[in-house]
Amino acid sequence: MEIPADVPLPKIVVFDLDYTLWPCWCDTHISPPVYKGPDTSTVVDRRGQKMAFYDDVPEIIAELKARGVKIAAASRTSAPDLAKSMLKLIHINGQRAIDYFDVLEIYPGTKITHFTFIKNATGIDYKDMLFFDDESRNKEVEHKLGVKFKYVHEGVTWPLLNEAVYEWHQYAGIEY
C-alpha cells in the first residue's frame, strides 16, 4: 500500500523506536545480549524472547528510502546500545535495518534535543520533517519546533503513514 509516486514527501521521516517501530520497550522488555533470530527479521534476547518490527515497518522504511527520504531515529531509551544492536541484527530486504537510518539520536533526554541534533546533522528544516511517536507528550516538537508530529497507537502502519503524509501536507501548506 504505497504512497502514490506523485505525492511529495517530507525530506526526512523520524521514528521513535519503542512501541512505534517494534512492540516493546527495549530497555525493560529485552534482556541483553540479543542475537540474530531464526530469520533475519527477528532478534532473540538471552531469555529466548523474540522481537521484530511491526508488520508494515520494514516495507515502509524501504519505500521511504527508495523515494529519497532520509530516515532518522529519535528515542529516549536508557539502553541506546541495545537499541542499536537490535537495529543491526534485524534486516530489511537483506540489509541491516540500521543502515537505512541516516541519523540515530538514541539516548535519554528530550525529543527537543534529539531534533536539534537531527536538524544540525542533516541541514533539514523542521517544517520538512515528519515524526512518529507513541507518546503524546512528544508532540512538543510540533509546538516548539514546527516538526509535524503523528501519534502512533499500535505501531507504524501504511494507513497511518498515508494519513500522516496528508496531515504534513496540510501543516506545511503543500497541495496534496
Show which residues are catalytic.
Answer: 16, 18
Helices H / strands E in the chain, number of each: 6, 10
Long-range CB contacts (< 8 A, 24+ apart) of 168-174?
Answer: 168/10, 168/130, 169/8, 171/127, 172/10, 172/127, 172/128, 172/148, 174/8
For 67, list phi and psi in degrees, rounded to 5: -85, 5
